[in-house]
């Protein structure tokens, strides 16, 4: 899934073939696309939301953070908002 890959890269993961494991390289988790569960699991999605909080507060973009958390408890809506935030953030970073 393209959005799961986007989130994994945002979180600093290394994407390889196969499922996810507890293996790390250079302090980055190694994970296969099939093992990414951001769209299915709050355990996967909540650390992303925590990362977004850090970025949003640093950039004084708390309104964007609240757009993400306002979608809780529906994981599909929260997931979509996370993807939108990351797309926005990546675009902002490219323009710097």
Predicted confidence at residue 81, as pLDDT, reads 97
**Model pTM?**
0.86
Q: Annotate the chain with three-state secondary structure.
A: CHHHHHHHHHCCCEEECCCCCCCEECCEEEEEHHHCCCCCCHHHHHHHHHHHHHHHHHCCCHHHHHHHHCCCCCHHHHHHHHHHHHHHHHHHHHHC
Domain ranges of the chain: 2-95
For 53-91, write each residue's pLDDT tens digit.
Answer: 999 999 999 999 999 999 989 999 999 999 999 999 999
């Amino acid at each position: 899934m393209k959005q799961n890959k986007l989130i994994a890269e945002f979180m600093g993961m290394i994407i390889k073939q196969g499922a996810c494991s507890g293996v790390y390289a250079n302090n980055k988790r190694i994970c296969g696309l099939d093992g990414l569960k951001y769209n299915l699991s709050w355990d996967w999605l909540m650390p992303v939301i925590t990362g977004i909080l850090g970025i949003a507060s640093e950039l004084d973009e708390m309104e964007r953070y609240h757009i993400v958390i306002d979608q809780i408890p529906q994981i599909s809506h929260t997931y979509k908002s996370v993807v939108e935030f990351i797309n926005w953030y990546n675009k902002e970073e490219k323009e710097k």
